[in-house]
Chains A and B, each alone.
Chain A
Amino acid sequence: MSETTTSGDRGVKATSDIVGEMMASTELSVNAPDVAEPVRAGAIVGRSPGQLAWMRLRRDRVAVASAGVLGFTVLVVLAAPLIEWLYGDDPERGHSELLNSIGYPIGVAGGASGDHWLGITPQRGYDLFLQLIFGARTSLGIAVTASVLAVSLGVVVGVLAGYVGGWIDRMVVWFTDFMLAFPFFLFAIALVPSLSSRLADSFGEVAVWKRIAVIIALFTVFGWMTTARIVRGQVISLREREYVEAARAAGAGTAHMLFRQLLPNVWAPILVVFSLSIPANVTLEAALSFLNIGITEPTPDLGRLILQGASNVSNFGLIPWVVFVPALSLFILVLAFNLLGDAVRDALDPKSSR
């Protein structure tokens, strides 16, 4: 169904499919002026805002590079079992025979060899290359899932508050502020160990997936607030627009208003928040490992690898592998996410200067 435009529109308004990894098919009402770009001299082809955004993104070299890095990471992480099989080792196998008596890798460069491309970790003797891949898998898996859930929850809450207004809005705002004031780490330190012991099975062991679920739940419960505030702000500013009023006057129901009028216009900020919350969650999960309430041994974890690297910073024999590689990997990942998020925001917002 096509939508109306406001009188201020000069540009093309059209229904279109918004193509992109993170956007579903929907229709977009455009309020802002837009410029169509000619593909051939003399011919004027209309393009949807989505297509325009995509073109801008494609032309941004930084965005392409970041997307490349992330795509490569996703590929590696998904193919982790295959890589393990090809490499011929196990990320959780300790190679104590390759360590000297005080637990440090024998040989130069932290034990790097044909069998262990990045050497082995001290004390336990894990293969660093596989630990990195599987650790990234754990950390990224948690971060992405938590972000998806948190952002979804935030959207629901924000739309609810912004659209319905009144006392529900006031209540939601109060609750959001309350949750924002919560000291996350204190709560995590208090909650994770006791929850874990409750989730222990008849043997007293807590399955890894249960631990992961606890952490994802924690991130979700403490991560929806930013999205909710942003979405609520957007919805409030949008719901008084003339086209929305017109739709209401024309008899549109709530479902139509939400899904056809409002939500399509808040995608941009949601997308940016999502892409920025993933690296935040990765760092947060690493911080939980610092506090020993994250993912425990022997499950590989990027946060724990970084912690080990930090404590070994003055052991020159382990530089650069154990000390720098995990931290560098996290840095590159976070940088790629942030740059991509920035680029997506720039691409979606035609008013931003580039």
Chain B
Amino acid sequence: MQGSAKRPPLGGEGETQVRRKFGAVLVGSLTLALAATACQSNTGGPGPGPTNVAGGSFITVNDAKGPAPEVPGAVKGGTVTAIGSTDFDDRDPQANYRGDGILVYGQLIFRALTGYYEDIAADGKITLKLMGDLATSTGTTTDGCKTWSYTLRDGIKFQDGSAITSKDIAYGVSRSFDGALATGPQYVQKYLAGSDDYASFYKGPFAAPGTTSPGIETPDDKTLIFKLGAAHCDFPMAVALPTTIPVPKAKDTGPETYQNAMVASGPYQIESWTHGEKMTLVRNTNWDPASDPLRHSYPDKWVFDWSGTDPAIVSKRFVDDAPADQAAIQWENVPSEALPDVLNNPAAKARAVEGDTVFNIYLQINTQRVTDVDVRRALNYAYNKKAHLQVIGGEFAGKVSTTITAPTVPGYKKYDAYPAPDTGDVDKAKALLAGKTVPPLKYCFRPGTPVREQVAAATKENLERAGFQIVMTPTDATTHNTLVGRKSFQMGCDLLTYGWGQDFPSNSTVVGVLMKGGASIQAEGNVNVSLFDNAGVNAEIDRLASEPDVAKAAEGYMALDEKIMKEFAPLIPIYYDHSFSLAGSKIGGLYLSGTWGSPSLQNVWVKS
């Protein structure tokens, strides 16, 4: 994801394990099957799942009513422990942009205006449904997608029992305009503003106390009207993002501190959160299942354990499946050093959750510093993608990527702008560099774990065999995720690893955000990490955003993807991400979500 697609968990690097949570469903007779109309989902089974079919689409349900359908065989009770190594950065609901963070918030703690429900049929086929969450429908528009109206459901309450009103949602959206929360998704803000520069449209309720964003009307507690600056027919998907999480104004202590005492609206509330260590969720007794068509609440308690455990040790625990770990979920990919352990153990392999995720991992090239296109092309030829994958776990971690768009995005078509073996083509790279003097390239990467450092060393070595000079610049591991979206930081690097996954099933959230220049390149929360700015491309992206025919728009984006890579090569696509993680034997209902690119908590229950 990162980006409408949230960042791969663990922030911009997107490499290696991290945040992958669930993988394919392997519970009972449920198997994930690739379906043309389902979001990416994959069969569990020996070896990594098959490639996703192109396109993930969804259906819109406008009359959904709670409670959510019962999961066959599920019972209430138990505590689920999710074991990972990195806490969410940016914990404020409007600032959260990490795939796993958004998933946990959205499925357990907070409700938004609309949301997704993944309906799993008896044969395992998944249908992704967009429906109203706090709202009764996904939104109604009578003037061609410029004005959207929502009616809120009955019985929606915060954890303290107070009713959730339209004003709480309006306030949540308004506070997202504040610069301190710019690290979160920016779609709603930009749509209301009618331009990418939403900061000049409205400053936010902290800079301008007592105000709400222009364009939002709340005629009464149950009605919410959005008047957008420009027509956007994907608005129902944009409001499924955490931007519309309701925040009670009286309890908002500020953009830096609200995260310490957030008010829940979902089935669970935060009992305690020791940052970097552990988060415990308990039932929110004021959540009414009859008002919520998206969520279940089978477990009594959720514990997120980030106490610095080594992913390899965690994997071994899951392989052993001791009683204490049987109701646990592995939050990160099985790392490469633990792969043989799992692959050689059929019982453990049967508990693996795996499949392709929405993420595509790139090495972004700073197009404003590395201005020679041939140098960027040479980098594309020289990069050794196979060696990179070998460090992180081979086909269980991903597949070599050649496009900006991932196969999970509607409209994906395979092409290769720089055909070369997976190990790269050094001769072609050298030919492109002939006669040029290339200054040393600064390669910024996140240090802190052996795998990341090995990947960095591999990148340096492989690019240097083509004649480049690479300067390894480790960032500060603890602040990396905050830094990586900062333009001033991006300006200081020549090469920066960055992954991206779609925010909703449309290429407008991949090519449309990664390659959009102009005002889209912001000081904070900038996802156009290659700082690519081409007038022709910008115009084409604007044209495609207002294209009413969704299929034509998807084709158009893919064609633009190919054109950008062939003519400008602003980044090096490295691999399409794959999720492979384990779960304890008492976990039921776990499956890989196409929407989130990681295991979904929607149906999880604890077997006794």
Q: Residues of A with Cβ closer than 8 Å to B?
A: 92-94, 96-97, 99-104, 122-125, 193, 196-197, 200, 203-206, 292, 296-298, 304, 307-308, 311-312, 314-315, 317
Question: With contacts A200-B473, A203-B442, A296-B474 known, is A96 near B394, CB below 8 A?
Answer: no
Does B386 make an interface contact (CB < 8 A)?
Answer: yes
| In the complex, chain B residues whose CB is within 8 Å of the CB of A206 | 474
Does B535 make an interface contact (CB < 8 A)?
Answer: no
Q: List 26 A-B contacts (CB under 8 A).
A: A92-B461, A96-B458, A97-B423, A101-B395, A102-B336, A102-B390, A102-B395, A102-B396, A103-B336, A103-B389, A123-B390, A124-B391, A193-B477, A203-B440, A203-B473, A204-B444, A205-B472, A206-B474, A297-B453, A297-B457, A298-B460, A311-B312, A311-B337, A311-B338, A314-B340, A317-B340
| In the complex, chain A residues whose CB is within 8 Å of the CB of B392 | 103
> Min CB distance, B354 to chain A, in Å?
14
A311 is contacted by which of B310, B387, B471 (Cβ under 8 Å)? Answer: B310
B390 touching A315 by the CB < 8 A rule? no
Does B341 make an interface contact (CB < 8 A)?
Answer: yes
B458 is contacted by which of A124, A292, A307 (Cβ under 8 Å)? Answer: A124
A316 closest partner in B (C-beta): B340
> Min CB distance, B315 to chain A, in Å?
10
A315 is contacted by which of B340, B386, B458 (Cβ under 8 Å)? Answer: B340
A101 touching B389 by the CB < 8 A rule? yes
A193 closest partner in B (C-beta): B476
Known pairs A96-B387, A203-B440, A206-B474; list 12 more (Cβ under 8 Å). A94-B458, A101-B389, A102-B340, A103-B394, A124-B391, A204-B471, A205-B472, A292-B449, A297-B453, A311-B312, A311-B338, A317-B340
A315 touching B457 by the CB < 8 A rule? no
Q: Which of B361-403 contact A (CB under 8 A)?
A: 384, 386-387, 389-396
A121 closest partner in B (C-beta): B454
Centre residue among B389, B440, B456, B457 by max chain A CB count within 10 A? B457
Centre residue among B386, B387, B389, B392 by max chain A CB count within 10 A? B387
| In the complex, chain B residues whose CB is within 8 Å of the CB of A308 | 337, 450
| In the complex, chain B residues whose CB is within 8 Å of the CB of A94 | 387, 457-458, 461
> Min CB distance, B397 to chain A, in Å?
8
| In the complex, chain B residues whose CB is within 8 Å of the CB of A124 | 390-391, 454, 457-458
Q: How far is the CA of A282 from the CA of B433 in the complex (A)?
A: 44
B390 touching A103 by the CB < 8 A rule? yes
Question: With contacts A103-B391, A103-B393 known, is A123 near B471, CB below 8 A?
Answer: no
| In the complex, chain B residues whose CB is within 8 Å of the CB of A204 | 442, 444, 471, 473, 492
Q: How far is the CA of A96 from the CA of B389 in the complex (A)?
A: 10
B461 is contacted by which of A93, A97, A104, A123 (Cβ under 8 Å)? Answer: A93
A203 touching B471 by the CB < 8 A rule? yes
> Min CB distance, B484 to chain A, in Å?
15
B384 closest partner in A (C-beta): A96
B339 is contacted by which of A102, A197, A297 (Cβ under 8 Å)? Answer: A102
| In the complex, chain A residues whose CB is within 8 Å of the CB of B316 | 314
Q: Residues of B with Cβ closer than 8 Å to A?
A: 310, 312, 316, 336-341, 384, 386-387, 389-396, 423, 440, 442, 444, 447-451, 453-454, 456-458, 460-461, 471-474, 476-477, 492
Q: How far is the CA of A205 from the CA of B444 in the complex (A)?
A: 10
A205 touching B473 by the CB < 8 A rule? yes
| In the complex, chain A residues whose CB is within 8 Å of the CB of B384 | 96
| In the complex, chain B residues whose CB is within 8 Å of the CB of A102 | 336, 339-340, 390, 393-396
> Min CB distance, B370 to chain A, in Å?
14
B391 closest partner in A (C-beta): A123
| In the complex, chain A residues whose CB is within 8 Å of the CB of B390 | 96, 99, 101-103, 123-125
Question: With contacts A101-B394, A102-B395, A103-B336 known, is A298 near B473, CB below 8 A?
Answer: no
Q: How far is the CA of A304 from the CA of B451 in the complex (A)?
A: 12
| In the complex, chain B residues whose CB is within 8 Å of the CB of A197 | 476
> Min CB distance, A10 to chain B, in Å?
62
Q: How far is the CA of A97 from the CA of B448 in the complex (A)?
A: 27
| In the complex, chain B residues whose CB is within 8 Å of the CB of A99 | 390
A90 closest partner in B (C-beta): B461
Q: How far is the CA of A292 from the CA of B447 in the complex (A)?
A: 8
A103 closest partner in B (C-beta): B390
A297 touching B449 by the CB < 8 A rule? no
> Min CB distance, A142 to chain B, in Å?
18
| In the complex, chain A residues whose CB is within 8 Å of the CB of B442 | 203-205
B386 touching A96 by the CB < 8 A rule? yes
Q: How far is the CA of A292 from the CA of B446 in the complex (A)?
A: 12
Q: How far is the CA of A308 from the CA of B450 in the complex (A)?
A: 9
Q: How far is the CA of A292 from the CA of B340 in the complex (A)?
A: 24
Q: How far is the CA of A90 from the CA of B458 in the complex (A)?
A: 14
Centre residue among B336, B337, B474 by max chain A CB count within 10 A? B337
B456 is contacted by which of A203, A297, A304 (Cβ under 8 Å)? Answer: A297
| In the complex, chain B residues whose CB is within 8 Å of the CB of A317 | 340
A104 closest partner in B (C-beta): B340
B450 is contacted by which of A101, A104, A304 (Cβ under 8 Å)? Answer: A304
A297 touching B454 by the CB < 8 A rule? yes
| In the complex, chain B residues whose CB is within 8 Å of the CB of A92 | 457, 461
Q: How far is the CA of A97 from the CA of B423 in the complex (A)?
A: 9
A124 closest partner in B (C-beta): B454
Q: How far is the CA of A197 from the CA of B474 in the complex (A)?
A: 8
The 5 closest A-B pairs by CB, nearest first: A102-B394, A204-B473, A103-B390, A96-B387, A297-B457
A299 closest partner in B (C-beta): B457
Q: How far is the CA of A92 from the CA of B477 in the complex (A)?
A: 24
A314 touching B341 by the CB < 8 A rule? yes
A314 closest partner in B (C-beta): B341
Q: How far is the CA of A97 from the CA of B390 in the complex (A)?
A: 10
Q: How far is the CA of A123 from the CA of B341 in the complex (A)?
A: 15
B310 closest partner in A (C-beta): A311
Q: How far is the CA of A296 from the CA of B391 in the complex (A)?
A: 16
B470 closest partner in A (C-beta): A205
B461 touching A298 by the CB < 8 A rule? yes
| In the complex, chain B residues whose CB is within 8 Å of the CB of A312 | 337
B444 closest partner in A (C-beta): A204
Q: How far is the CA of A104 from the CA of B390 in the complex (A)?
A: 8
Q: How far is the CA of A103 from the CA of B340 in the complex (A)?
A: 10
B461 closest partner in A (C-beta): A94
| In the complex, chain A residues whose CB is within 8 Å of the CB of B340 | 102, 104, 314-315, 317
| In the complex, chain B residues whose CB is within 8 Å of the CB of A93 | 461
Q: How far is the CA of A122 from the CA of B473 in the complex (A)?
A: 24
A292 touching B457 by the CB < 8 A rule? no
Q: How far is the CA of A124 from the CA of B392 in the complex (A)?
A: 10
Q: How far is the CA of A78 from the CA of B460 in the complex (A)?
A: 27
B394 touching A315 by the CB < 8 A rule? no
B397 closest partner in A (C-beta): A102
B340 closest partner in A (C-beta): A315
Q: How far is the CA of A226 from the CA of B321 in the complex (A)?
A: 46
> Min CB distance, A82 to chain B, in Å?
23
> Min CB distance, B382 to chain A, in Å?
14
Q: How far is the CA of A65 from the CA of B382 in the complex (A)?
A: 51
> Min CB distance, A214 to chain B, in Å?
14
B389 closest partner in A (C-beta): A101
Q: How far is the CA of A297 from the CA of B474 in the complex (A)?
A: 11
| In the complex, chain B residues whose CB is within 8 Å of the CB of A292 | 447-450, 453
Question: With contacts A92-B461, A193-B476, A205-B471 known, is A123 near B454, CB below 8 A?
Answer: yes
Q: How far is the CA of A68 from the CA of B306 in the complex (A)?
A: 47
